[in-house]
Structure 1
Amino acid sequence: MALILLEKSDAIATITLNRPEAMNALSHALRGELFAACQDISQDQNIRAVIVTGAGERAFTAGLDLKELGEQGLGAATDQNPARNPCRALESLNVPVIGAINGVAITGGFELALACDVRIASTNARFADTHARVGIIPGWGLSQKLSRFIGLSRACELSFTGQFLDAQTACDWGLVNHVYAPDDLMPKARALAADMASIDPEFLKAYKQLIFDGYDRNFKEAMALEKQTTDAWNANVTAEEVEQRRLAVIARGRALKD
């Protein structure tokens, strides 16, 4: 049985973690298949957006397979190689990545959710950082990302207790953008991905890179990076192109209103 399902349709790739009987735990084999799927997507110029979700309704992913981890050692918890680190595999993609969080996202699974550019959730979704409970310091980014997304105090509460965060509270705190009924999650994810895929692909890749490269810098350096990137990009944009796109934006707005 394939541990990762990769489907492509209308410029959108959907990656499904496919170990529902094990709450989609991130075994060594699954992580290898996820990397292969990301490599496939990277080489496919037709793909403009990616959706990541879990099979079933119970779990997005429960994180690393702890039984396997106990047998093979803790190296997987800090390995930064994208071939074995699913967060780095997702972060290597230069197109938008939408996490459709269909169930629990626990510890390493929480980190995988944070590796997505945009997160939406079903009402079944719950998040938990249980690193403190199992005595393993996170190595896939949670200790640094979570506080940046929801604030230091809230991140400390979650990480120091291991308590679950429900989907609606996660939305209220800005961790996910929207919460939907389980049956609506994937249709909404596909609609969001299709909206992103309608943007010029080269522009979207450049814009994503600018946002994330800037996010890793202090504000002054990030503003300088924006100026440098803007000057280089906009020098190749003509007034006629801007006018055509302005008219297209107006037409799209009217269509959405109707």
Structure 2
Amino acid sequence: MSTIGPFNTVKVEVQDGIALITMNRPEKLNALNAMLQDELARAFEQVGAEQSVRAIILTGAGRAFCAGIDLAQAGESLSRGGASGDRLLRLITAMSSTPQPVIAAINGYAVTGGFEAAMACDILVASREARFADTHGMVGVMPGWGLSQKLARIVGQPRAMAISLTGEYIDAQTAYDWGLISHLVEPAELLPTARRLAGMIRDADPGIIAEIKAVIRNGGLATLGEGLRMERDAHARFMEHYDPQEAQARRAKVMQRARTQA
């Protein structure tokens, strides 16, 4: 494996094909200052390029997942152009373009840009201590990571309007009830649950997992007919390299796991 890091505001641990990326500015609620933006982008770029890594977990140190853009640097970081705009674009691109599925392990506050960072992930697991809010309107900043479009598609327009126009916090149970997160767990079970899900992904066919991730993500922005065509195209690519013996071995593992979990 190539060298990952070094970092000052991010921790990266890779074990058994699973990468755990931790935003590590707990004293600032993991607010995204310039250094954290740069290092988080670099972490995703480096981990995403590792073929031995099959799944990625993103979490935050301390009592927050991420409080969004560091308001102490807001004047510079939120400008439309220059280095700050390039920095944010690089981070958004790095997070959204990894072929490996990304699991958000949301341990606490996920606010504004932190909310968007969570929603940039593929699977959202939240502790009961998690809280979500979109305060873009309160701080006078337009969303830039797709929150205005993604949120309504998940929770419906009325709820999205309420979240984004009022800035009101919603708790983890409400987020689960509204379909914002896939798993709601006790705090002590957050990382074990994320690791369990990552392990299931790791044991699957990485090529198929990457194709399924892409089809679901891209299909969500398309019509049903366009999405079905994407799936058919992906299936055709898969059949070009289909290995019956490997497929049979994977089926045997799935059946064994089913018997274990039954």
TM-score, reference length from structure 1: 0.91
SS of match in other structure, 1:124: coil
- The corresponding residue for 1:169 is 174
1:88 aligns with 2:88: no
Question: What is the letter of the counterpart of residue 43 of structure 2?
Answer: A
Conserved? CA contact 1:35–1:84, under 8 Å = no
Conserved? CA contact 1:80–1:88, under 8 Å = no
1:144 aligns with 2:149: yes
Report Cα offsets for 1:178-211 as digits up to 9, x if no partner. Answer: 1112121111111111111110112211221222
- The corresponding residue for 1:60 is 65
Conserved? CA contact 1:86–1:112, under 8 Å = no
Conserved? CA contact 2:47–2:53, under 8 Å = yes
Report Cα offsets for 1:203-236 as digits up to 9, x if no partner. Answer: 2112212222222222111111212221231244
Computed over aligned residues only, the root mean square deviation of the Cα atoms, in angstroms, reads: 2.1
Alpha-carbon distance between aligned partners in 2 of 1:72 and 1:200, rounded to the nearest angstrom: 39
Alpha-carbon distance between aligned partners in 2 of 1:213 and 1:44, rounded to the nearest angstrom: 23
Deviates more, 1:66-75 or 1:153-162: 66-75
Instruction: Quote the offset at 1:151 in angstroms.
Output: 1.1
Identity of aligned pairs, percent? 43
SS of match in other structure, 2:80: helix
Q: 1:159 to 1:46 in 2, by over 3 A?
A: same
Alpha-carbon distance between aligned partners in 1 of 2:78 and 2:24, rounded to the nearest angstrom: 24
* Structure 1 residues without counterparts, runs of 5 or longer: none
1:42 aligns with 2:48: yes
Alpha-carbon distance between aligned partners in 1 of 2:114 and 2:244, rounded to the nearest angstrom: 46
Report Cα offsets for 1:45-89 as digits up to 9, x if no partner. Answer: 110000000001x2101100111112555337xx76466553332
1:29 aligns with 2:35: yes
Deviates more, 1:93-102 or 1:79-88: 79-88
Q: 1:206 to 1:109 in 2, by over 3 A?
A: same
Deviates more, 1:242-251 or 1:198-207: 242-251
Kindly tell me the number of residue pairs found equivalent between the two proteins.
255
Conserved? CA contact 2:77–2:85, under 8 Å = no
Deviates more, 1:67-76 or 1:157-166: 67-76
Report Cα offsets for 1:98-156 as digits up to 9, x if no partner. Answer: 00000101101110011000101011100000011112111111101111111111111
Q: 1:242 to 1:14 in 2, by over 3 A?
A: closer
Instruction: Quote the offset at 1:250 in angstroms.
Output: 2.3
Instruction: Quote the offset at 1:158 in angstroms.
Output: 0.5
Alpha-carbon distance between aligned partners in 2 of 1:85 and 1:12, rounded to the nearest angstrom: 23
Conserved? CA contact 1:4–1:33, under 8 Å = yes
- The corresponding residue for 1:187 is 192
Conserved? CA contact 1:32–1:84, under 8 Å = no
Alpha-carbon distance between aligned partners in 2 of 1:47 and 1:72, rounded to the nearest angstrom: 31
Question: What is the letter of the counterpart of residue 205 of structure 1?
Answer: A
1:113 aligns with 2:122: no
TM-score, reference length from structure 2: 0.90
